[in-house]
Amino acid sequence: MTRREWSAKASRPAGSLRTGLAAWGSVCALVGWLLAWEALVRLAEIPHYTLPAPSLVLMTLFDNFSSLAASWWFTLKITVFALLLAIAGGVLIAAVFTLSARLEAVLLPLAVVLQVTPVVAIAPLMLIYIDSTTTALLLCAWIVAFFPILSNTVVGLRAADPLLRDLFVLCRATRLQRLRLLLLPSALPYFVAGLKVSGGLSLIGAVTAEMVAGAAGRESGLASRILEASFRTETPKMFAALLLLVLTGLMIHFASSALSRRLLSRWHASEQRRDLSTPTPGT
């Protein structure tokens, strides 16, 4: 066994222990904040319509779960489908940009314009021009989530080692062979980084578009439930719907982080967590 293999094998249990302790520390911190919130509301006797206690939020979520669950499922579908479309479109267009500089010069300004235009300004137009409200919401969420994957993947495709590029040219590899065997593997860490950003943005875009549609009484996502509760001063219900949105965002974050570890942990330094204070053998 080489020194590097021995070092990696020896540091693996310690790394797992540190990861577990960090996770438990985060859980304990979250529980502590919730207990402090509960104590503040009870000791200060804050009215529930101003700031509900966590226990009341959970009770409200349990009592209204049937209606909130249907709205949550609608928002989740919009978010996930928009993210999947952003992944497919971003990677495909980034590959086209890499293979053709002319197409990049034509299409990149349009992608930038869509990125810098607020979705709040686009959503009303989408609802006017598109008959299906669900399709309009999906398109708005896709616009928000699309650009980070596109830009990160383009940067990753261009970050391939120049020496390897020259080697592929000397071996007379075709453009598609260079893309599949060299450029896409080198772009994978950048793509995963863009995915982590786009996951949250897809949820934000879906909720923002639902806010615009919900104001007119169309569709029934969680944003519409929040608007209805605000009109009726049902603050605990607003917090219950917000809790579902937070849980959805956490689910997306943990899923993208798990995918990143799955794809990169064996060969990329970004997912090889090591304690720099621990010396390796022979140093």
Residue range 64-104, pLDDT digits in tens: 998 899 899 999 999 999 999 999 999 999 988 888 888 88
- Per-residue pLDDT, 122: 85
- Per-residue pLDDT, 10: 47
Between these two residues, 117 and 271, which has the higher pLDDT value?
Answer: 117
Read off the pTM. Answer: 0.82
Range among 5-9, 51-55, 210-214 rated most confident: 51-55
- Torsion angle of C-alpha atoms 229, 234, 236, 237, degrees rounded to 10: -30
- Per-residue pLDDT, 23: 67
Q: What is the mean pLDDT of residues 130-138?
A: 88
Between these two residues, 122 and 145, which has the higher pLDDT value?
Answer: 145
Structure tokens given for 81: 């489908």
Q: What is the mean pLDDT of residues 225-250?
A: 92
- Per-residue pLDDT, 219: 56
If you search the block for the tokens 């904040």, which residue do you land on?
33
Is the confidence at residue 59, as pLDDT, over 60?
Answer: yes
Q: What is the mean pLDDT of residues 18-39?
A: 80
- Per-residue pLDDT, 216: 45
Dist CA 20 CA 229 (whole Å): 39
Is the confidence at residue 277, as pLDDT, over 50?
Answer: no
- Per-residue pLDDT, 88: 94
Query: Quick one: pLDDT band at residue 6, thresholds 50, 70, 90?
Result: very low
Is the confidence at residue 11, as pLDDT, over 70?
Answer: no
Mapped onto helix, strand or coil, the DSSP state of residue 78 is helix
**Least confidently predicted of 77-91, 94-108, 194-208, 243-257:** 94-108
Query: Quick one: pLDDT band at residue 166, thresholds 50, 70, 90?
Result: confident
Closest CA relative to residue 192, chosen from 246, 262, 247: 262
Range among 12-16, 54-58, 102-106 rated most confident: 54-58
Scored b (16 or more CB within 10 A) or e, 155-171 reads: ebbeebeeeeeeebeee
- Per-residue pLDDT, 252: 94
- What digits encode the pLDDT tens for the residues 222-237? 998 998 898 888 999 9
Query: Quick one: pLDDT band at residue 15, thresholds 50, 70, 90?
Result: low
- Per-residue pLDDT, 3: 52
Structure tokens given for 55: 């226990």
- Per-residue pLDDT, 19: 60
- Per-residue pLDDT, 58: 93
Average pLDDT score over the chain? 83
Between these two residues, 215 and 246, which has the higher pLDDT value?
Answer: 246
Closest CA relative to residue 85, chosen from 133, 148, 134, 146: 146
